[in-house]
Amino acid sequence: MLAVRDLDVFYGRVQVLRGVDLRVAPGELATIVGPNGSGKTTLLRAITGLVAAAAGTITFAGEPIAGRPTEEIVRLGIAVVPEGRELWPPLTVRQHLLLGAHALPRALRRARAADDLARVLGLFPALADRLARPAGTLSGGEQQMVAIARALMGRPRLLLLDEPSVGLAPLVIREIFRALARLRAEGLTILLVEQNARAAFRIADRGYALAPGGLIAEVASHAPTTGDSTRRAYGLELIRVQCEPQDVAGLGTPPSEANLRMREIAT
Ligand SMILES: Nc1ncnc2c1ncn2[C@@H]1O[C@H](COP(=O)(O)OP(=O)(O)O)[C@@H](O)[C@H]1O
Ligand SMILES: [Mg+2]
């Protein structure tokens, strides 16, 4: 569904991503973990065309998308739940959701709005009686639900999420992750950027760790035939070995390929 190959990204003269390789197969939930400043947001911005790739290719559903305008990438079916949610506090929940539907062609938008609204409210029932409330009056968890629901209203084929659990209480995080697992079970392809590696790896099919300096390593990968319970056990094993946040934070200081390779062997 998504393939990133040998991607380099610079801000000015500073290289943020180095030869990044990543893939997300259709129906998979892949996660990227990594400490602050390692380039996770930059990677998502490169995928959606908000920053330019200096080298490398990005392919979505068989089409090269690097260098294309963001609107076009969104129209191809990629939706983002951005870092910090990016809601407009005075707009109501319903207005946010209808804005999300604007990724769809106008005719489709009208025909599907009611169904799609029902579907996202089924996923996040807490939003049902808050539709008329300004988003700014909602709790952090509810705001995150609005941001996810808004992205889903555009019926994406690939959902990108940038640290949806930041600042939320454990119970709320569990609710958000349960919703992501459900979306995955319904067949949606998801790329989840997280600092909460434990929660992310528990629901992921495939995992990557990004180290400061922009090097990436695949740290968990599951055969498509692996059953659910095996996957969960495997995920927990991985977490113990190397995916505690502090462990990931130690991945690349200083960043080195040897460091990454050792950790891969450790799994
Ligand atoms: N617009 C920008 N201009 C220059 N440097 C940036 C910009 N955005 C991020 N950076 C730098 O790029 C690096 C990666 O940032 P970012 O992708 O936001 O990391 P993460 O999302 O993993 O915290 C950091 O060192 C950050 O300071
Ligand atoms: Mg970030």
Calculate how far, in angstroms, residue 39's C-alpha sits from the geometric centre of ligand 1: 6
Which one-letter amino acid corresponds to residue 95? Q
Last residue of a domain, one of 156, 187, 221: 156
Residue nearest atom 16 of ligand 1, based on CA coordinates: 39
In angstroms, the CA 32 to CA 10 distance is: 19
Q: Mark whether 109 and 205 lie in a shared domain.
A: no
Calculate how far, in angstroms, residue 41's C-alpha sits from the geometric centre of ligand 1: 7
Q: Mark whether 194 and 259 lie in a shared domain.
A: yes
The CATH number covering residue 199 comes to 3.40.50.300
Residue nearest atom 9 of ligand 1, based on CA coordinates: 42
Which one-letter amino acid corresponds to residue 107? A
pLDDT digits (tens, 9 = 90+) for 74-105: 999 999 999 999 999 999 999 999 999 888 88
Q: Mark whether 152 and 163 lie in a shared domain.
A: no
Mean per-residue pLDDT over the chain, rounded:
82
Last residue of a domain, one of 156, 172, 197: 156
In angstroms, the CA 247 to CA 17 distance is: 21
* 51: its two tokens: 């920053």
pLDDT digits (tens, 9 = 90+) for 207-231: 888 887 777 878 754 433 233 333 3
Handedness of CA 261, 48, 99, 29 (dihedral sign): negative
Q: Mark whether 248 and 166 lie in a shared domain.
A: yes
Q: Mark whether 189 and 248 lie in a shared domain.
A: yes
Cα angle, residue 37 at apex, residues 25 and 63 outer, rounded to 5°: 30
> Closest ligand to 162 CA?
2
Q: Mark whether 171 and 255 lie in a shared domain.
A: yes
Residue nearest atom 8 of ligand 1, based on CA coordinates: 42
Q: Mark whether 126 and 252 lie in a shared domain.
A: no
Contact 127, 93 (CB under 8 A): yes
In angstroms, the Cα distances linking 250 to 68, 130, 187, 209 are 35, 42, 34, 11
Q: Mark whether 15 and 147 lie in a shared domain.
A: no
Q: Mark whether 132 and 53 lie in a shared domain.
A: no
pLDDT digits (tens, 9 = 90+) for 32-71: 988 888 899 999 999 999 999 999 999 999 999 999 999 9
The environment of the single-atom ion ligand 2, i.e. residues with CB closer than 5 A, is: 40-41, 83
Q: Mark whether 147 and 180 lie in a shared domain.
A: no
Closest-lying ligand 1 atom to the alpha carbon of residue 51: 1
Calculate how far, in angstroms, residue 132's C-alpha sits from the geometric centre of ligand 1: 36
Domain boundaries, position 139: 81-156
Q: Mark whether 148 and 188 lie in a shared domain.
A: no
Contact 80, 103 (CB under 8 A): no
Domain count, the chain: 2
Last residue of a domain, one of 123, 139, 156: 156
Q: Mark whether 168 and 49 lie in a shared domain.
A: yes
User: Which H or E run includes 32?
Assistant: strand 29-33
